[in-house]
Amino acid sequence: MIKQTDLGGSFTLTGTSMTANRMGYGAMQLAGPGVWGPPRDVDGAIAVLREAVDSGVNHIDTSDYYGPHVTNQLIKRALHPYPGELVIVSKLGARRGADKSWIPALSRQELIDGVHGNLRNLGLAALDVVNLRVGGMMEPSEGSIEKPLTVLAELKGQGLIRHIGLSNVSPKQLAEAQTVTEIVCVQNFYNVAHRNDDAFIDDLASQGIAYVPFFPLGGFTPLQSSELDTAAARLGVTPMQLALAWLLQRSPNIMLIPGTSSLKHLRENLRLHSSTFLPKCLRFSTQSVNKKRSFDMRVFVTGATGFIGSAVVRELLDAGYQVLGLARSDAGANSLAAAGAEVHRGSLEDLDSLRSGVVASDGVIHTAFIHDFNNYGPAAEADRRAIEALGTALAGSGRPLLITSGTLLAQSQGRLATENDTPNPAFPRKSEEAALAVAERGVRVSIVRLPPSVHGKGDHGFVPALINIAREKGVSAYIGDGLNRWPAVHRLDAAHLYRFVLEKGTAEANYHGVGDEGIPTRQIAEVIGRRLHVPVVAKSLKESSIILAGSGTFSVSTHPPQARSRGSGWVGSRNSRDYSLMLTSHITSPPVCRQWGDH
């Protein structure tokens, strides 16, 4: 069993069960000078391999033309029999001349011989992944790769290769390759200074394909090297550590294979933690230069993959902002990268990850909340602690903090709630109290209050829950005369409000994200009943408590607060439509479970 450490998180190769830590190891430097012959210190090379694996590395990149044969033989001697979690990736497409030259080797027989050479020297029955290496020394050369790739696909069919990748290829060559066989990874030249593959990386991330950059420090000009040196010295790290950290934050599908024959350098690389060395320390953003930006402002968004947060991310990106999105899972990180946002790994409970996200940003939009209504008190406390952590990191900086609250919290029994209403102190959620507390410490904080129904594509909230209750109970119920009203807003309009407040908001002000000031609950019940073909009934407050028992979703009130938005220039109607049509769209869909977002 490989000891698992924090090595930049993990990535699962598409279409496989192979999951590897994003910080791997490249074996090329284990060979002698010029990647030729044995190393000067064979025992030292073996020690490097063993310590890498003992430290949690479970992805090793190699090739039988390193040495030639030397690195594969060292890997076998050091690690065979191999741990079950270890993924060994080899390359084909070259051979070494007697003069130590690198010679293309892409003929059918050369590829077959190369596979058997790798198998023999590694002591394997099948190779985990084989990369087809084509092109020039550092850059792809356009041209068809179908012929050599077809040979590898045949060897895969024979069980000698499990999965296939590409090295030194263009997007056009990838597209051609995917008509021949599934591609699980691409290995190209890329680093903070050489970013020709920015668009390629974004496309690969959207497909779930790993991108493995080689030469992470190669190709720097003296000026760029000087900037790296200065930033690294300021942080107390090495330039290599900072360059690798930048790559880890660039995209969640990037997997690293830094090579070294030195235990000291290996330990430096493996001490890397992607949230420690922040890209803000460089003038180079980790945002893809493939995206056109009109703002230099980077906004940290919590709940960035949730129902509302994902709409906020899209709104900001479309407006030209850089976005740093909080993600707790690989799936969330992949979706953010596919959208064009930067990824910041962490969670609502990981306060250090929240603070480091703030440090790397110019403003914060907090949309995350743990929507576990069976444990609402602990969820509310987690939210309060998160706001306190965000505020502490922002104190005195003048950078904006937007907090999410709800119109239900407003004390306005029996009348329209306005932004001037204070929150109900009896309500367990203390988002606004926490926001005002950090405001007293000099944080420029604004509060966005959302209504109980935020609707749109992917809504798993208020209306779907009512529909599910009606399905379960066989009646669609409303309370009393049904004239009490629930305000609503479309999620895209809510996202527009967040950007409006970010750009034009007033400190310590409340903003109501309300598109419809109030929908009579009887009208909602009637539409649900009509579409589900169940009776619509009026219930007393006591009876309704029985109907809703176990839903864990709503605070039942005969007069839930209605709300309206301030006359501030925000128009919440870009996506408005008849509420009955919105209800109908939910009812024609199968029942869903209530779970909002990745915090």
Q: Which residues are catalytic?
A: 66
How many whole angstroms separate alpha carbon 393 and alpha carbon 387?
Answer: 10
The alpha carbon of 225 is separated from its chain's Cα centroid by a whole number of angstroms, namely 29
User: Residue 419: CA atoms inside 13 Å, Cβ hemisphere, count?
Assistant: 17
Q: Could you tell me the sign of the dihedral formed by the alpha carbons of 121, 125, 131, 135, in that order?
A: positive
The token pair at 565 is: 């938005």
The token pair at 578 is: 């008849």
Give buried/exposed letters for 87-102 (b at 16+ CB in 10 A, else e). Answer: bbbbbbbbbbeeeeee
The answer for residues whose C-beta is within 8 angstroms of residue 178's C-beta and 6 or more apart is: none
Q: Are 75 and 60 in contact (CB under 8 A)?
A: yes
> What is the phi-psi region of residue 4: left when phi exceeds 0, alpha when psi lies from -120 to 50, beta otherwise?
beta
- In three-state secondary structure terms, 452 is coil
Among 387, 494, 394, CA closest to 449: 494
Residue indicated by tokens 């969330």: 332
Residue indicated by tokens 């064979």: 42
User: Residue 300: CA atoms inside 13 Å, Cβ hemisphere, count?
Assistant: 29
CA angle 448, 453, 454 (to 5 degrees): 60
What is the 8-class DSSP label of residue 63?
Answer: -
Based on its alpha-carbon atoms, the radius of gyration of the chain, rounded to whole angstroms, reads 28
Relative to beta strand 87-92, strand 127-133 is parallel
The token pair at 178 is: 């995917």
How many whole angstroms separate alpha carbon 531 and alpha carbon 101?
Answer: 74
Q: Are 475 and 548 in contact (CB under 8 A)?
A: no
How many whole angstroms separate alpha carbon 524 and alpha carbon 597?
Answer: 25
Q: Are 314 and 336 in contact (CB under 8 A)?
A: no
Residue indicated by tokens 């390193």: 66
Residue indicated by tokens 């090579």: 259
Q: Could you tell me the sign of the dihedral formed by the alpha carbons of 293, 341, 298, 314, in that order?
A: positive
> What is the phi-psi region of residue 360: left when phi exceeds 0, alpha when psi lies from -120 to 50, beta otherwise?
alpha
Among 33, 72, 58, CA closest to 256: 58
